[in-house]
């Protein structure tokens, strides 16, 4: 986690904020000098109208430039603010579905949610959950849904999950796009979820999770599609 000092330094030394800050500082000093000249002229020499007028004009000009610098500095800060777009909603029906098999209930709920349009489902399983994956495929394969079982050797290796899922996206049926395949990162291990999410970032494929009912741990609720993108607006050069 970045320290407050490093965050402040990165903002201060950014070209979008540093230049307006320096200009504003210079003309703030000029403004102070001009105000002093006005006060000095009023006290010492009221007859020197030209000097007084010049000092007033200098003060007004410096004030305007200082205000402009403040506006530019504020604009630079705004452009550096992180922009986070988060969206959570019930997913639309998809033609394809990728599941991590560890519990039957969330898999069943996810399949039923997409069943009206679902044509193909990929089940990633381990040695311990192979029988469960077979049972799930046998239960729903009669509903025009074709299943493919994919064995995961190391459930603690996120890169193995990553490679399996990227291979799925790369070998989709003709005419399909990754955007038509929903990846559900519920189940198995956290490493599996990480691998699935990473694989779904590029190409941008939809993600969902199937939450547990907080009132009943044995029941799963309607899947939730997650879209989260964080970026920092970069300065135009």
pLDDT at residue 214, rounded to an integer: 80
pLDDT at residue 213, rounded to an integer: 83
Distance CA 105, CA 109 (A): 6
Q: For 64-122, how does the pLDDT look when each residue is reduced to its tens digit (9 = 90+)?
A: 666 766 676 566 556 555 544 445 688 899 999 999 999 999 999 999 999 999 999 99
pLDDT at residue 234, rounded to an integer: 42
Q: For 170-194, how does the pLDDT look when each residue is reduced to its tens digit (9 = 90+)?
A: 999 999 999 999 999 998 999 999 9
Identify the weakest region by mean pLDDT among 54-58, 158-162, 165-169. 54-58
Distance CA 147, CA 205 (A): 19
pTM greater than 0.75: no
Percent residues over pLDDT 90 in the chain: 45
pLDDT at residue 21, rounded to an integer: 58
The fold of 87-232 is: Rossmann fold (3.40.50)
Q: Name which of 120, 98, 119, 84 is nearest 208 in CA terms.
A: 98
How is the chain split into domains, by residue range? 4-80, 87-232
pLDDT at residue 201, rounded to an integer: 84
Across the chain, what does the average pLDDT equal? 77
Q: Name which of 164, 236, 231, 221 is nearest 198 in CA terms.
A: 164
């Amino acid at each position: 986690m970045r320290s407050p000092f490093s965050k402040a330094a990165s903002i201060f030394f950014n070209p979008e904020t540093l230049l307006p800050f320096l200009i504003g500082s210079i003309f703030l000093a000029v403004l102070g000098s001009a105000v002093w000249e006005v006060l000095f002229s009023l006290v010492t020499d009221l007859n020197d109208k030209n000097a007084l007028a010049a000092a007033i004009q200098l003060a007004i000009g410096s004030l305007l430039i200082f205000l402009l610098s403040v506006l530019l500095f504020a604009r630079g800060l705004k452009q550096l603010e992180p922009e986070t777009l988060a969206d959570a909603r019930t997913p639309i029906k998809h033609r394809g579905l990728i599941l991590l098999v560890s519990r039957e209930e969330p898999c069943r709920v996810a399949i039923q949610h997409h069943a009206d349009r679902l044509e193909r489902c990929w089940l990633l399983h381990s040695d311990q959950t192979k029988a469960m994956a077979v049972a799930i495929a046998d239960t729903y394969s009669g509903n025009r849904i074709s299943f493919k079982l994919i064995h995961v050797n190391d459930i603690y290796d996120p890169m193995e999950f990553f490679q399996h899922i990227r291979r799925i996206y790369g070998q989709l049926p003709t005419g399909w796009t990754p955007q038509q395949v929903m990846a559900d990162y519920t189940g198995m291990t956290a490493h599996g979820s990480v691998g699935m999410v990473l694989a779904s970032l590029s190409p941008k494929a939809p993600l969902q999770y199937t939450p547990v009912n907080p009132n009943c741990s044995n029941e799963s609720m309607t899947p939730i599609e997650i879209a989260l993108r964080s970026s920092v607006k970069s300065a135009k050069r």
